[in-house]
Amino acid sequence: MSFKEYEVVIVGAGISGAALAYELARYTDIKSIAIIEKYEDVATLNSSGTSNSQTIHVGDIETNYTLEKAAITKRTAKMVEKYCLQYHYQNEIIFSHQKMALGVGEKEVDFLLHRFEEFSTLFPYLEVWDKERLKELEPRVVFDAQGKQREEPIVGIGTRGQWTTVDFGKMAKSLIENAKNQAGKTVDVFFNSQVKKIEKSENKGHIVYTQNEEYGADFVVVNAGAHSLYLAHEMGYGMNLGCLPMAGSFYMTNEKMLKGKVYMIQNPKLPFAALHGDPDVLAGENTRFGPTALVLPKLERYKHGTYVDFWKTLRFDKNIAIALWKLFKEKDIRNYILRNFLFELPLVNKYLFLKDARKIVPSLSLDEFSYAKGFGGIRPQVLNKDEQKLMLGEASINPGNGILFNMTPSPGATSCLGNAERDLRIIVEQLGKSFNEGLFNDELTEGEYCVLPAPLESQKSRVNLIRAEIARTQEKFHEGYVQTK
């Protein structure tokens, strides 16, 4: 067994590991970096284009984001955008589609209009689209199978002219290639190398063991999805955490049904993504609906094994049982999980999913879509035993001794460069290295690329018009009801 030595070793060649390798190679004076990947290529799991919605989650149409969270997410999302534009990856890795959050019914419409008034200060390019405007921009959200427009009020809060879509698998490969191209740097990638264990070195740093090699490192970062927590537990770290793997599946249409991305309003009680329809850039922009949400007792989807790894990483005990009970006792969550389990059953799944998808496309029929086999991934949702609850968002374990473990559920791909910046700062401080923050800011964080629509005041006028129209509709309905009585 041979021994190789590097300043930094990264475990996992997904989008998170690739982003960190790129930033270390380009913006620091670290000379040697190794990436150790379990499988045969870059981004074969959750970063693959078939395993996610290919969306840059900016925070403008994600209705479960607070204004504060949206401000943070916007910064990291723009980093992805600026990176792609810097290397001229337009229409190769990054794509532009219109997108919207769609409200159906008076309650949802009112929610979106209020949200627009709050979030338009942070996102001045947001537009308000009433039913008449939606007929032009996204007609299939308006008309049913008979060509009649839906009776209930609808509104879209959306954007045009923005970069909205990324093939994160291709982006991961580009990040590693661009890292390798940095002058005076060594960036080695080792495929088909499963990490068996990591140990603290007697001298300094850590030793990473695979089946055939040993790698010495001054600093180790584990970006291995759900297996990050597995490896942390093996070293005795993060023992107060357990992993609940949530799998998402998709349904694919046989045509380009939607012109852009259409997201439904998130149920605030559900820690899972709301249903949406996206143009799939890997499938001729045919519309992909999803995701569903399913608890799976394994850490990697569409790969053999990892069932035992799941139980080791869950570390089931009384506190985990209480945390799961708190989740399932919520009626909305319980019904959602049970319903999504049925979405995986052949024969009945399409009939059940059709009802949900018709909230986006009222005219959708059974023969227009099918279960997308091989699509979807697993997101490592983390359970906190001390607090006996599900942790929302990303989790990172930093023992403070030269090793980090990152678990990044959605929107981990959007946040990849921002998370890498966080880890980079920890690494350079501990190793006594320098960080070219000026170049970093110039290339990744300063300025925005967007096309502004009509002035904000005209958008607010449209909000008032929509509210007035809904009030008139309610009044007419009430008058008709009274006359009938």
Tens digit of each residue's pLDDT (9 = 90 or more) over 149-207: 998 999 999 999 999 999 999 999 999 999 999 999 999 999 999 999 999 998 889 99
Task: Please indicate whether residue 364 or residue 340 has the higher confidence score (pLDDT).
Answer: 364
Residue 364 has pLDDT above 60, yes or no: yes
pLDDT digits 0-9 by tens, 239-265: 999 998 888 889 999 999 999 999 999
Q: Which of 97-101, 253-257, 345-349, 415-419 has the lowest mean pLDDT?
A: 345-349
| 3-state DSSP of the chain | CEEEEEEEEEECCCHHHHHHHHHHHHHECCCEEEEECCCCCCCCCCCCCCCCCCECCCCCCCCCCCHHHHHHHHHHHHHHHHHHHHCCCECCCEECCCEEEEEECHHHHHHHHHHHHHHCCCCCCCEEECHHHHHHHCHHHCECCCCCECCCCEEEEEECCCCCEECHHHHHHHHHHHHHCCCCCEEEEECCCCEEEEEECCCCCEEEEECCEEEEEEEEEECCCCHHHHHHHHCCCCCCEEEEEEECCCEEECCCCCCCEEEECCCCCCCCCCCEEEECCCCCCCEEEECCCEECCCCCCCCCCCHHHHHHHHCCCHHHHHHHHHHHCCHHHHHHHHHHHHCCCCCCHHHHHHHHHCCCCCCCCHHHEEECCCCCCEEEEEEECCCCEEECCCEEECCCCCEEEEECCCCCCCCHHHHHHHHHHHHHHHHCCCECHHHHHHHHHCCCCCCCCCCHHHHHHHHHHHHHHHHHHHHHHHHHHHHHC
Give the chain's mean pLDDT.
90
pLDDT band per the 50, 70, 90 thresholds, residue 469 = low
The stretch 26-49 carries a mean pLDDT of: 95
The stretch 117-142 carries a mean pLDDT of: 94
Residue 346 has pLDDT above 70, yes or no: yes
pLDDT digits 0-9 by tens, 439-463: 999 999 965 444 444 445 556 666 6
Instruction: Map out the domains of the chain with their CATH numbers.
Output: 2-98+160-445 (3.50.50.60)
